C-alpha cells in the first residue's frame, strides 16, 4: 500500500512546518519564508494529504510542487487550492527570494454553521487540476494581501462568540476575489478557450456519428475533460463562460441532435435509437428528450 503522510489537524501542520502552535485550532496562516524546508527531508517525494482546505500563493525561482503527475511553476505568482483529502507531493521549494509566499489553511469545522460552509461547493476551483492554477496580477496580489492581514489580526485576537463569523467572512471575501480573478483568467484566455470548445464539439460530433456509443455508452464529463486535458470542474466552468452550457449540457445537446435526425430519417424503434446512442435504458432517453424538447421522441417523430 502506498505510504501517504496524513496531516489531520492545524496543530500538526504547524508542527511539521516548524511553526509556533496556531493561535486558533482551526486556521493557520503560514509565511513560507519562515519555513526551513531542509527539515522536511522525510517528506520529500512522499505524498501528503490534509484534512483541511488550503489556499497557497507562491512565487518560486527554484523548486516546484508536484500535484498528481504535473509539476507546478509559480515563478509569476499563482494561487493553488486544495480541498480536504486531496493528495499533494511537496518537493523542497526554495522560497527565500519570494515576495508573496503564504498559505492559508482552514478546517471545514471552522466554517460549519456559517453561510460560507454552504457556499464552498460553489468554489469549484478547489477541485481544479494542477495545470489550472490561478495566475494573478500585482494589484490582485495587493488586494488579497490586505484581506490576509485582516484575517491574521482576527486570528491573533482572543477567541470569542464573534470569531467564527469574522474569520469566515474574511475567508469568503478572499474566495470571492479568487472567483473574480478566475473569471478574468477565463476571459484573457479566450482564444485557448475557444479551441477547447471547438475540440470538444468535434469530439462529441464524431463520437455520436460512430458506433462508439453502442459499444461504450454515453461519454461522461470525465471523458470529455480528459479529451481536452482539463479537470472536469475547470472544463464545466470554462464551457459555462464560453457557451452558457455545462459539459453535461453539451453532451446532451449533441446526443439529442443526432437522436432527432435518426427519429426523422430512419424506421428504427425508439428503443433501438436509444441503444445506438449509448443509453442503457430507453426510458432514460425518453425522459431526457422530454425534459429538453418538451415532447416525447414518439411525439417528435409523429409531428414531423
Residues 6+ apart with CB under 8 A from 177: 140, 143, 144, 147
Q: Is the pLDDT at 304 greater than 90, yes or no? A: no
pLDDT value of position 187: 84
Q: What is the mean pLDDT of residues 34-42?
A: 73
Predicted pLDDT of residue 39? 72
Which of 188, 215, 236 is at the close of a domain? 188
Instruction: Please give, one letter per residue, the 3-state secondary structure of 12-60.
Output: HHHHHCCCCCCCECCEEEEEHHHCCHHHHHHHCCCEEEECCEEEEEECC
Asked if 8 and 51 count as a contact pair (C-beta separation under 8 A), the reply is yes
CATH number at residue 32: 2.60.120
Q: What is the DSSP letter of 254?
A: H
Q: Are residues 156 and 205 in the same domain?
A: no
Instruction: Grade residue 2 by pLDDT with cuts at 50, 70 and 90.
Output: low
Q: Residues 149, 40: one domain?
A: yes
Confidence of residue 110 (pLDDT cuts 50, 70, 90): very high
Nearest to 133 by CA among 198, 205, 84, 60: 60
Q: In this structure, are 20 and 125 located in the same domain? A: yes
Report the pLDDT averaged over residues 34-51: 74
User: At residue 95, does pLDDT exceed 80?
Assistant: no
One domain for residues 126 and 144? yes
Higher-pLDDT residue of 200, 60: 200
Model confidence at 65, pLDDT cuts 50, 70, 90, reads very low
Q: Report the C-alpha gap between 304 and 299 in whole angstroms.
A: 9
Triad 165, 9, 142: Cα angle to 5° = 55
Query: Are residues 156 and 20 part of one domain?
Result: yes
- Residue 47 pLDDT > 70: yes
**Structural domain ending residue among the three candidates 188, 215, 231:** 188
Spatial contact of 21 and 90, defined as CB atoms under 8 Å apart: no
Clarify whether residues 65 and 39 are in a common domain.
yes
> Is the per-residue pLDDT at 258 higher than 70?
yes
**Do 247 and 162 belong to one domain?**
no
Residue position matching grid coordinates 521549494: 93
Q: Tell me the three cell numbers of residue 82.
A: 486544495
Q: Please indicate, yes or no, whether residues 171 and 267 belong to a single structural domain of this protein.
A: no
Domain of residue 163, residue span: 4-188
* Structural domain count of the chain: 2
Q: Global pTM?
A: 0.77
269: confidence class by pLDDT, cuts 50, 70, 90: very high
Tell me, yes or no, whether 134 and 14 share the same domain. yes
For residues 141 and 155, membership in a common domain is answered with yes
Q: Which of 188, 210, 228 is the last residue of a domain?
A: 188
Residue 108 grid cell: 471545514
On whether the CB atoms of residues 37 and 30 are closer than 8 A, the answer is no
Amino acid at each position: 500500500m502506498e505510504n501517504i503522510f496524513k496531516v489531520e489537524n492545524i496543530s500538526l501542520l504547524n508542527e511539521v512546518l516548524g511553526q509556533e502552535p496556531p493561535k486558533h485550532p482551526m486556521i493557520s496562516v503560514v509565511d513560507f519564508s519562515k519555513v526551513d524546508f531542509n527539515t522536511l527531508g522525510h517528506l520529500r517525494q512522499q505524498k501528503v494529504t490534509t484534512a483541511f482546505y488550503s489556499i497557497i500563493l507562491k512565487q518560486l525561482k527554484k523548486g516546484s510542487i508536484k500535484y498528481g503527475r504535473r509539476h507546478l511553476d509559480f515563478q509569476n505568482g499563482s494561487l493553488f487550492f486544495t480541498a480536504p483529502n486531496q493528495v499533494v507531493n511537496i518537493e523542497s521549494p526554495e522560497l527565500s527570494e519570494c515576495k508573496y509566499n503564504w498559505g492559508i489553511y482552514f478546517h471545514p469545522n471552522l466554517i460549519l454553521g456559517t453561510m460560507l460552509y454552504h457556499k464552498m461547493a460553489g468554489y469549484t476551483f478547489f477541485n481544479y487540476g494542477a495545470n489550472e492554477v490561478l495566475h494573478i496580477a500585482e494589484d490582485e496580489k495587493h488586494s488579497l494581501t490586505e484581506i490576509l492581514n485582516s484575517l491574521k489580526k482576527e486570528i491573533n485576537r482572543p477567541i470569542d462568540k464573534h470569531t467564527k463569523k469574522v474569520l469566515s467572512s474574511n475567508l469568503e471575501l478572499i474566495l470571492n476575489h479568487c472567483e473574480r480573478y478566475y473569471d478574468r483568467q477565463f476571459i484573457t484566455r479566450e482564444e485557448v478557450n475557444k479551441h477547447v470548445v471547438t475540440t470538444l464539439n468535434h469530439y462529441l460530433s464524431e463520437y455520436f456519428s460512430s458506433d462508439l456509443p453502442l459499444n461504450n455508452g454515453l461519454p461522461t464529463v470525465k471523458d470529455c475533460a480528459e479529451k481536452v486535458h482539463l479537470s472536469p470542474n475547470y472544463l464545466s466552468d470554462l464551457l459555462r463562460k464560453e457557451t452558457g452550457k455545462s459539459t453535461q449540457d453539451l453532451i446532451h445537446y449533441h446526443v439529442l441532435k443526432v437522436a432527432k435526425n435518426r427519429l426523422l430519417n430512419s424506421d428504427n424503434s425508439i428503443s433501438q435509437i436509444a441503444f445506438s446512442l449509448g443509453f442503457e435504458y430507453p426510458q432514460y432517453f425518453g425522459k431526457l428528450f422530454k425534459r429538453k424538447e418538451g415532447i416525447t421522441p414518439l411525439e417528435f417523430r409523429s409531428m414531423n
